[in-house]
Structure 1
Amino acid sequence: MPVSSLRVIVLEDHSFQRAIAVSMLQQLGCTDVFQAADGAEALAVLNEVGPVDIALCDLRMDGMDGLEFLQAVGHSGLVGSVIISSSLSADLRRTVRQIISLLDLELLGDIGKPLHYETLERLLKKHCSVPRTGAPPEPLETVPDEAQVRQALAAHELCAFFQPKFILETGETTGVEVLARWRHGSGKVLSPACFLPVLERHGLLDDLLCQQLHQGLALQQQLRTQGYELNFAFNLHAAQLSSGTLASQVRGLLGEYGARGASLTFELTEAGMLQAPETSLECLFRLRMMGCRLSIDDFGTGFSSLQRLFQLPFNEIKLDAGFVQALAQEPRCRAVVSSTLALGETLGMTVVVEGIETDEQRQHLLNLGCTQGQGYWCAKPMSSGDLLRWLEGQQQRSQRA
């Protein structure tokens, strides 16, 4: 993507600094640059001009401040990436970065003030260099109701997308995470943020998981015939662990598709792990007995106790992407990554780092001892057809090397 095609909005209440930021962006080649003095004005601009790729955002503003604005656009699709430009203290900006990671927004950079041309240029190039594989999710104009989601399930419009996991040193693909997307009748591909809450509220998560397991295992079977042995990871909600049929359902599907338990991973968020009742232990035990791997997803965003971590039979930790964003600038982030790696090694658990977007981040993680990761540096979530073509391209590049 060329810089000239980027759509950027500048949120800054100081008119002179706002003018400087707009001028810098235009000098760097951006032709669609919008501006606002606070969050409310920015929302009005976005309602008029539509979604933007990047929001260059101050945090402390009169009226609606930057954090309120980010909370308003989170999960909406109106803003793709965020650059924080604020004079607030490092600990406060760190908190905002954490909130951004929970709002389904991509943090492109935290550059403080004053704004520097070279730094801004680097971040724009970083955004443009990220591979854009497959169709990006788009927001629904209205929140779907139960009937619409049930109809989408019945019509198999809620389909599986796949994001590769890879070896940091070589880029070799080791597996994929299976993610839900809605191929809406309008032709758009919709984010799970618009339909997963409805599924959860009306007890339909098991129906979605069943469809994803069939789609994932069928693709995995096809890949095996082509020489690819990839682990497929599926997301579980804590409530699904109390089902007395989940383990037997997985066992039956493994037999149907001729797959081994070791070829599947089930990911449960750290918060979900805390909510899981003691009766869930039997389900986790039976999945592990079949050879399936169990992963703690978004590790570091919840407040799990070490005792709970010790009690549950997980064998993988997925470190949340928020710790990667400021890895080069934040000693605390490096400390968290190093501590998690040490914890994983002590407990005999693999550590997978999420949210790797740049080669610089990959190199930092390698230096800290990380071996496995996931993120846009390798590939975005993609359809089954795109994944097959992507793997073939990887194989051809490897043979030429």
Structure 2
Amino acid sequence: MGEKGEVTSDALTKFLEKSMQMLPLRVLVLEDHLFQRAIAVSLLNQLGCDVVFAAASGTQALEILREVGPVDVALCDLQMEDMDGLEFLQRAAQAGLVRSVIINSSLAEDVRRAARQLISLLGLVLLGDLGKPLQIDAVQVLLKKYLDEPDKRIMPRCADAAADPKEVCSAMARREMESYFQPKVNLLTGEVTGVEALTRWNHPFRGIVSPAVFMPAVESCNLLNELFFAQIEHGMEVQRQVLKRGSLLNIAFNLQPVQLTDTTLVSRVKAILARYGLSGAGITFELTENGLVDASATCLENLVRLRMMGCRLSIDDFGVGFSSLQRLCQLPFNEIKLDGEFVRALDEERRCRVVVSSTLALGEALGMTVVAEGIETAAQYQQLIELGCTQGQGYLFARPMTQKALLDWLESRAGVQEKQ
């Protein structure tokens, strides 16, 4: 300190550095071990967290949150006497008292994996899974992840669980449902190999609404086919535009198993292709295997006829159902889409790495392409390359985008490749 009222440059720098490090976060530490609880609180204070609460049990944690209100992050042990971490998170989620979770546990890897799945089912955002002892750098990365992604700071609303069918019917009539497209790429060359067509509800007040919110209502209103065939029309328009530029872009559409019972499915697809002057070879239909357990003769006939037209058939979310191998043997799939959950866990779990490696080997043995979903980081990308995966999609490459945005994106990539 210089003369009264003055601050030296060094002191000012330290003050500014400290201010910049402050994190506007409310964090709860749930840990029954006194020493480890103290370490966690101290670590969070060093990172500049705005408010830190500490509890030795789930019961105490709930009492604190009911008094002080919701927290942004719960740094949570799982195995404790009295109320354990899982029961606490279940109750806290129901009461809307926790927005996101960092697991801090020394339990076995497979047990923690199951716990992570449970946390997602509770509607909470899982920021990460850290073992013990805590490492300050790892915690800092996860807290930054929370602050950098606005969606993680929004408490899930019960109203978003499912949209009102009447509202969805009106939205369909007003053409508020819009087709988005997410690229698939060759992981070795970076070449775009196709896109997956997705539907988003462009709500006039709520913005872009996820299919998880409105698809149940679409099905209950018997509007599934209307939405599906409108999406194919949009996809064929994109394909025709890209074809004019000298490239063929495969378009993948999500086909619900219930639609395979429609005896007019194949003829309607043929009619759309004929209208655009395109062939079935440029289309992939993705189906989740869970809905194909009791495939009827009509379902099987439709799948065979689609293959006869040249269309590709992809078994989606592979590995999360109970009959994947049986479906591969019985139905004419020629592509496997590996569920993103396995990709996201590559860094943390040996079992997931084994599943990915085994699926790639299975695909090669069966002559089927394997596409890895949910690639979000360079580390995941590198590990997939090392395992021999050559096809993938995810936010690392591109997010779903509108038709115009996709065409602009493809054109910009083509321009860059020409200069190289």
SS of 2:297's partner is coil
Name which of structure 1's ranges 201-210 and 285-294 shifts more when overlaid on structure 2.
201-210
SS of 1:370's partner is coil
Q: Please state how far the C-alpha of 1:204 moved relative to its aligned partner.
A: 2.1
Query: Greater RCO between the two (CA within 8 Å, min separation 6)?
Result: 1
2:202 corresponds to 1:157: no
For residues 186-207 of structure 1, the C-alpha deviation after alignment (integer angstroms, 9 at most, x for no partner) is 0411111111112223322112
Q: Please state how far the C-alpha of 1:229 moved relative to its aligned partner.
A: 2.4
- Equivalent in the alignment of 1:290: 309
2:24 corresponds to 1:12: no
CA distance in structure 2 between the aligned counterparts of 1:43 and 1:285, rounded to whole angstroms: 57
CA distance in structure 2 between the aligned counterparts of 1:70 and 1:217, rounded to whole angstroms: 45
Gap runs ≥5 in structure 2: 1-19
Q: Please state how far the C-alpha of 1:159 moved relative to its aligned partner.
A: 1.4
Percent identity, aligned pairs only, is 52
CA spacing shift, 1:192–1:27, aligned 2, 3 Å: farther
Gap runs ≥5 in structure 1: none
Name which of structure 1's ranges 314-323 and 277-286 shifts more when overlaid on structure 2.
277-286
Counterpart residue type for residue 204 of structure 1? L
- TM-score of the aligned structures, taking structure 1 as reference length: 0.82
Q: Please state how far the C-alpha of 1:183 moved relative to its aligned partner.
A: 0.8
Q: Please state how far the C-alpha of 1:298 moved relative to its aligned partner.
A: 0.5
Q: Please state how far the C-alpha of 1:176 moved relative to its aligned partner.
A: 1.2
- Equivalent in the alignment of 2:366: 347
CA spacing shift, 1:24–1:306, aligned 2, 3 Å: same
CA distance in structure 2 between the aligned counterparts of 1:383 and 1:42, rounded to whole angstroms: 45
- Equivalent in the alignment of 2:185: 166
CA distance in structure 1 between the aligned counterparts of 2:243 and 2:22, rounded to whole angstroms: 42
CA distance in structure 2 between the aligned counterparts of 1:47 and 1:263, rounded to whole angstroms: 53
CA spacing shift, 1:341–1:149, aligned 2, 3 Å: same
The structure having more radius of gyration, on CA atoms, is 2
CA spacing shift, 1:140–1:99, aligned 2, 3 Å: closer
Instruction: Kindly indicate whether the alpha-carbon contact (under 8 Å) linking 1:328 and 1:361 is maintained by their aligned counterparts in 2.
Output: yes
- TM-score of the aligned structures, taking structure 2 as reference length: 0.79
Name which of structure 1's ranges 356-365 and 385-394 shifts more when overlaid on structure 2.
385-394
Counterpart residue type for residue 166 of structure 1? V
Give the alignment of 1:178-257 within 5 angstroms. 178-257=197-276
CA distance in structure 1 between the aligned counterparts of 2:351 and 2:406, rounded to whole angstroms: 36
CA distance in structure 2 between the aligned counterparts of 1:377 and 1:127, rounded to whole angstroms: 18
Instruction: Kindly indicate whether the alpha-carbon contact (under 8 Å) linking 1:297 and 1:319 is maintained by their aligned counterparts in 2.
Output: yes
Instruction: Kindly indicate whether the alpha-carbon contact (under 8 Å) linking 1:281 and 1:312 is maintained by their aligned counterparts in 2.
Output: yes
Q: Please state how far the C-alpha of 1:158 moved relative to its aligned partner.
A: 1.6
Instruction: Kindly indicate whether the alpha-carbon contact (under 8 Å) linking 2:201 and 2:208 is maintained by their aligned counterparts in 1.
Output: yes
SS of 1:215's partner is helix
CA distance in structure 2 between the aligned counterparts of 1:358 and 1:328, rounded to whole angstroms: 10
CA distance in structure 2 between the aligned counterparts of 1:106 and 1:339, rounded to whole angstroms: 29
- Equivalent in the alignment of 1:320: 339
- Equivalent in the alignment of 2:357: 338
For residues 280-330 of structure 1, the C-alpha deviation after alignment (integer angstroms, 9 at most, x for no partner) is 001101111111110000000001153432110000000111111221332
2:374 corresponds to 1:365: no
Q: Please state how far the C-alpha of 1:56 moved relative to its aligned partner.
A: 4.6
Instruction: Kindly indicate whether the alpha-carbon contact (under 8 Å) linking 1:352 and 1:371 is maintained by their aligned counterparts in 2.
Output: yes
Q: Cα RMSD between the aligned structures?
A: 3.7
SS of 1:84's partner is strand
CA distance in structure 2 between the aligned counterparts of 1:397 and 1:387, rounded to whole angstroms: 15
SS of 1:272's partner is helix
